[in-house]
Structure 1
Amino acid sequence: MTTTTPTAAERRPLEPKGRRSLTRRKSPLLTILAILTLPYFLLPLYWLVVASTKTNRQLFSTFGLWFDDINLWSNLTAVFSAQGGIFWTWIGNTVLYAGVSAVGAAFLATAAGYAFAKYDFPGGTLMFSIVLGAIMVPTTALAIPTYLLFAGVDLTDTRWAVVLPSLVSPFGVYLMRVYAADAVPTELIEAARVDGAGELRIFFTVALRLVAPGFVTVLLFALVATWNNYFLPLIMLSSPDLYPLTVGLAQWQSAAAAGSGGQVLFSSVITGSLVSIVPLIVAFLYLQKYWQSGLATGGVKG
């Protein structure tokens, strides 16, 4: 009677199917492509950091990708003290516009996406088709009609003129419709109805928790879009005290290019641009843990 020695593969204990599916596979080609594209994203940010440490003269007389004399503190002082400290006002306006618009757009998109995914109602398919069609329309094409609409109700040059249009996110509705269709089991909704829960209670206590990763995703998209929005505030607002950072820094840039105060405004514009992206980086780093943890939980589901 002969015996065979089991091989290493045969001696290895069998792993659960779910765990095997999570095994990370390395692709040398994708790694190389990621390394090659990394400078494309990091080089502008690196240049912005370097340029923020230079004076107006050094911006035009020194190598742009390396540090010279570090004047970051003096540049920050000039930014926050220029025109009576109006940069603080611009920051507050931007936080208000982006925060209210992001939360509102994410909530409305989540509610609409959940309704499209889990309810059958007359005209639902047509309405969702209209939402898909709205994604194809550039936002700049709607800026002038939006201005005329708000001018008709005397809302131009107010904060509402920036916040209200930013609450509409057709792409967010589409994203949440797709996400809610799989993330919220229909059986769970029916079980909640059997227990006597109303539709609003089911949405707020059951569905909203399950679609939280998608909610955060839409919130991040809306936050970045509103924070970087330039054209809508430009045509809607005429008072400098209502400007967001994008419009305010553009006004400084125009003044510097025209020669009015150009000795200080070029460095102020660059340093102000660096300051303006810091809150976005902080928001993304804080919110990504909820985003990634939720997506990972959904990835091993079932």
Structure 2
Amino acid sequence: MTTTTAIRPATRRRNRHLPLQVLLGFLLVYFLIPFWWVIVNGSKNAAGLFGGGSALWFAEEIDYWGNLAQLFSFQDGIYARWLLNSALYAVTGGIGATVLAVAAGYGFAKYRFGGRRLAFSVLLGSVMVPTTALVIPTFIMFSQLGITNTIWAVILPSLLNPFGVYLMHVYAREAVPDELLDAGRVDGAGELRIFLQVALPMLRPAIVTVLLLSTVASWNNYFLPLAMLSDNRLYPVTVGIGLWQGIASANNAGGTSLWSIIILGSLVSVIPLVIAFLTLQKYWQGGLSIGSLK
């Protein structure tokens, strides 16, 4: 009787978690299907794409290398330039946004100054404003400054990350004890030294999380560079692939071969992000628990 009684609660717990496990499994499949579709169809030539075969399985002829050669040679190899542009925008914007978010979030969390609550309230309000709603006003302002169609028109707006400031504020408030900062001040350390040697190592998980979020947002940015740039040599890979898609859609008969390199180009464009997430996984998983420390 004792063994049976002990088994029943465990069985009930497993049964209670079963619907959640089924839901998670469904969501996993749902999110992986588009990625699998890109992997499969990136290997097909025009005949394989439009030959009536299964869209979720490989064709008889797998031609990754041929598609890659076409991808990096089409239009004088402009795709490689687009990748470098995306890397420039993502790295510069990601690092810059992270630096500003760390400084602002730490300042809001650990310093008391006039207008602090009002400024933080404005910050929280700006989190609710969609970035696409700010593109046109930003374009008008930048056009008056004469910096549209330059890399700065894409980089400068990417430096502002209100959500990153909020995350850093929450994490710094809980993860960095005020007593530790006071001890550093008693020992004669300056504020900059306390920040760099005491607070910054404790903020590492949150810093990596904000860096990844900012970098991914800059890499995937589409509407801002589309509005700001007119020279296709300055396009990031997102806008460049969109340009090719428009060409292929406008010329269905002659654009069938272009769809193969568009799909493979989409696959290649996400590989750097996958590598970044897998490399920094242990850090950003810790940063996702922001606010749980007491």
**TM-score of the pair, normalised by structure 2:** 0.90
- Report the alpha carbon displacement of residue 241 of structure 1 after superposing the two structures with TM: 1.0
Dislocated runs of 4+, deviation >3 Å: 26-29, 292-299
Q: Is there any run of 5+ residues in structure 2 with no aligned partner, and where?
A: 3-15
Alignment partners' CA distance in 2, 1:241 and 1:72: 25
**TM-score of the pair, normalised by structure 1:** 0.87
Alignment partners' CA distance in 2, 1:245 and 1:295: 28
Deviations 1:82-121 (A, max 9, x none): 1111111001000010011111111111111111111110
Alignment partners' CA distance in 2, 1:257 and 1:297: 44
Find the counterpart in structure 1 of residue 57 from structure 2: 66
Whether 1:263 aligns to 2:253 is no
> Is the 2:46–2:257 contact (alpha carbons within 8 Å) kept by the matching residues of 1?
yes
Alignment partners' CA distance in 2, 1:211 and 1:279: 25
Residues 298 and 139 from structure 1, CA distance in 2 versus in 1: closer, same or farther, beyond 3 angstroms?
closer
* Aligned-partner SS, 2:74: helix
* Aligned-partner SS, 1:84: coil
- Report the alpha carbon displacement of residue 294 of structure 1 after superposing the two structures with TM: 6.5
Alignment partners' CA distance in 1, 2:273 and 2:193: 33
Alignment partners' CA distance in 2, 1:235 and 1:257: 21
> Is the 2:209–2:287 contact (alpha carbons within 8 Å) kept by the matching residues of 1?
no
* Aligned-partner SS, 1:188: helix
Q: Which amino acid aligns with 1:289?
A: K
- Report the alpha carbon displacement of residue 246 of structure 1 after superposing the two structures with TM: 0.4
Whether 1:207 aligns to 2:194 is no
- Report the alpha carbon displacement of residue 292 of structure 1 after superposing the two structures with TM: 3.2
Alignment partners' CA distance in 2, 1:295 and 1:191: 29
- Report the alpha carbon displacement of residue 63 of structure 1 after superposing the two structures with TM: 1.4
Whether 1:28 aligns to 2:21 is no
Residues 108 and 283 from structure 1, CA distance in 2 versus in 1: closer, same or farther, beyond 3 angstroms?
same
Alignment partners' CA distance in 1, 2:267 and 2:209: 24
Alignment partners' CA distance in 2, 1:295 and 1:206: 21
Q: Which amino acid aligns with 1:282?
A: I
Alignment partners' CA distance in 2, 1:159 and 1:130: 28
Q: How many residues align?
A: 278
Q: Which one has a bigger Cα radius of gyration?
A: 1
Find the counterpart in structure 1 of residue 170 from structure 2: 178
Find the counterpart in structure 2 of residue 273 from structure 1: 266
Find the counterpart in structure 1 of residue 277 from structure 2: 284
Q: Which amino acid aligns with 2:241?
A: L
* Aligned-partner SS, 2:188: coil
> Is the 2:41–2:55 contact (alpha carbons within 8 Å) kept by the matching residues of 1?
yes
* Aligned-partner SS, 1:133: helix
Whether 1:82 aligns to 2:61 is no
Moved more, 185-194 or 30-39: 30-39
Matches within 5 A, 1:155-194: 155-194=147-186
Q: Which amino acid aligns with 1:64?
A: A
Find the counterpart in structure 1 of residue 31 from structure 2: 41
> Is the 2:89–2:219 contact (alpha carbons within 8 Å) kept by the matching residues of 1?
yes
Find the counterpart in structure 2 of residue 10 from structure 1: none
Percent identity among equivalent residues? 55
